[in-house]
Amino acid sequence: MPEKLMQPEVWLPDKPEEACGVFGVYSKQADYGASLASYLGLYALQHRGQESAGIVVSDGQQLMTHKGMGLVANVFHKDILDNLQGACAIGHVRYSTTGSSLLANAQPLVARCSKGAMAVAHNGNLVNTEELRLGLENSGSVFQTTTDTEVIINLIARHSQDTLADAVGKAANQLRGSFSLVVMTKDTLIGLRDPSGFRPLCLGRLEQNEAYVIASESCAFSSIGAKFIRDIKPGEMVYMDRHGLQSYQYLSEPVRKAVCIFEYIYFARPDSAIDGLGVHQARKKMGWELAKQFTKAADVVIPVPDTGRSTAIGFAEASGIPFDIGLIKNPYVGRTFIQPTQSMRDLGVRIKLNPVESVLAGKRVVIIDDTIVRGTTSGKIIKMLREAGAKEVHMCVSAPPITHPCYYGIDTSVRKELIASTHEVEEIRQYIGADSLTYLTLAGLARAVEPLSGFCYACFNGDYPVEVPGKVARNKYLFEE
């Protein structure tokens, strides 16, 4: 085993982490409870961020805000929602990629400009934040937070002589990277998606309340009884006010479409559909493709819950190997990656996952997971399966090896921490202790998301669709820094 493949002294999460989830609702009915709808919508988007949550509501005259650190259910309760009365609202759940995990950086952010109070919530990550921020500071802007979202607010405010739609569009044309935004004033709601379409954003309708809804994922609509209308297109802005809904293409020039493939592999809930393709079905097809590559004999297929389940079902269908539940996830456990001793780090996985010995004992097991980032968690899970009696453990992964960092809103850390960037598959197999290790090929992944095309595969092949400034790239790319 290569000497470099050692368990880290500080345990880090072994999954890519998403940036955020955004939600917005606009109703013509003055007594509509937009805060409750936002609460339920954010609850459905909780998987996209667990560090902070916030809602801003407009009663037609002023914006009212409540946000805090932690899960949606912990940040909000009935009395808070009762005090946030209004027919228009935006909400946000956050996992920090740009800016520290602090209450000051929790979103939505609210600012005042010549157009009055304005709130913005952002899912994604800009690659030209530093350049834009420096330019704004040199011309007099003062920043209260370290997030790229505040940069966006300042850019919008700079176009105060334009209509709100034009100001937002002009600001968006200065942004580079990934961004799905909801923007709200006292009487207007705007949603827009970056020109490449990195992050999802969709539009829904509540007929009985004369309301439109915007959300990162379509799964948020069913939680409030809204109907899915369509995905917001890359480079599109939707604008809602008392006159109804309008749509604009704000692009100043066409760009390459590059939807983040990890939305289908890992981030999105399986009951969501993105750009017309159901996430559950895409993951099942990843399982079909993996089954074509798998050459071993096995007795049972089990998923790593929860995102491996759909892929494992597809793998079982295509291979004829029976599907079963071999790991049970404790749904009440939060994040467990800050653990001071090795013994506690080893227990971290066991707190979240428990093996079903009757399914595993004496069996040749295929375990399906969505990714291997550092390999730390995979090794612990395989060890657990062997201790539960598994005779063989074959790991199948529904993504190719992650060899390059992401700059567009996924926290895949620096390149030196990506195990596949410096080690071959056989070395990784030895490190995690599997009898075999099968990664889905890039071609197989592309087939799984057909008929759609235009995805970002940069973390697998280094082909970045939006140019990354050298300083930003060096912070994540170099092996030793």
Each domain of the chain, given as residue ranges in start order, spans 20-255, 278-477
Amino acid 412: pLDDT: 59
Amino acid 376: pLDDT: 85
Three-state DSSP at 47 gives helix
Amino acid 144: pLDDT: 80
- Structure pTM? 0.89
- DSSP E strand boundaries for 186-307: 188-193, 202-206, 211-215, 227-231, 236-241, 244-249, 259-260, 273-274, 277-278, 300-303
End-to-end CA distance of the chain: 24
Q: Read off the pLDDT of each residue in 459-467 and give the average, rounded to a whole number.
A: 94
Lowest mean pLDDT among 44-48, 342-346, 441-445: 342-346
Q: Which CATH class is domain 20-255?
A: alpha beta
The CATH code of the domain at 278-477 is 3.40.50.2020
Residues 6+ apart with CB under 8 A from 450: none
Q: Read off the pLDDT of each residue in 55-63 and give the average, rounded to a whole number.
A: 95
Amino acid 478: pLDDT: 43
Confidence of residue 142 (pLDDT cuts 50, 70, 90): confident
Q: Read off the pLDDT of each residue in 453-480 and give the average, rounded to a whole number.
A: 80
Confidence of residue 343 (pLDDT cuts 50, 70, 90): low
Amino acid 335: pLDDT: 47
**Burial readout 312-346 (b: 16 or more C-beta within 10 A, e: otherwise):** bbbbbebbebebbebbeeeeeeeebeeeeeeeebe
Confidence of residue 19 (pLDDT cuts 50, 70, 90): low
Confidence of residue 346 (pLDDT cuts 50, 70, 90): low
The number of residues making up the chain comes to 481
Q: Read off the pLDDT of each residue in 427-456 and give the average, rounded to a whole number.
A: 97
Confidence of residue 471 (pLDDT cuts 50, 70, 90): low
CB of 154 closer than 8 Å to CB of 221: no
- Which is more confidently placed, 471 or 78? 78
Amino acid 15: pLDDT: 56
Lowest mean pLDDT among 111-120, 191-200, 425-434: 111-120
Predicted confidence (pLDDT) at residue 98 exceeds the cutoff of 60: no
Stated as kind and residue range, the H or E segment containing 293 is helix 279-293
Predicted confidence (pLDDT) at residue 77 exceeds the cutoff of 90: yes
CB of 53 closer than 8 Å to CB of 71: yes
Amino acid 476: pLDDT: 56
Average pLDDT, the chain: 88
Q: Read off the pLDDT of each residue in 120-146 and give the average, rounded to a whole number.
A: 89
Residues 6+ apart with CB under 8 A from 471: 130
CB of 188 closer than 8 Å to CB of 60: no
Active site residues: 20
Amino acid 479: pLDDT: 34
- Which is more confidently placed, 162 or 302? 302
Predicted confidence (pLDDT) at residue 64 exceeds the cutoff of 80: yes
Amino acid 417: pLDDT: 76
Amino acid 332: pLDDT: 72
Enter the tokens of residue 116.
């009055």
CA distances from 338 to 9, 102, 200, 476 (A): 11, 17, 30, 22
Q: How remote is the C-alpha of 131 from its chain's centroid?
A: 25
Q: Read off the pLDDT of each residue in 23-28 and give the average, rounded to a whole number.
A: 96
Confidence of residue 181 (pLDDT cuts 50, 70, 90): very high
Confidence of residue 42 (pLDDT cuts 50, 70, 90): very high
DSSP 111-134: EEETTEEEEEEEEEEESSHHHHHH
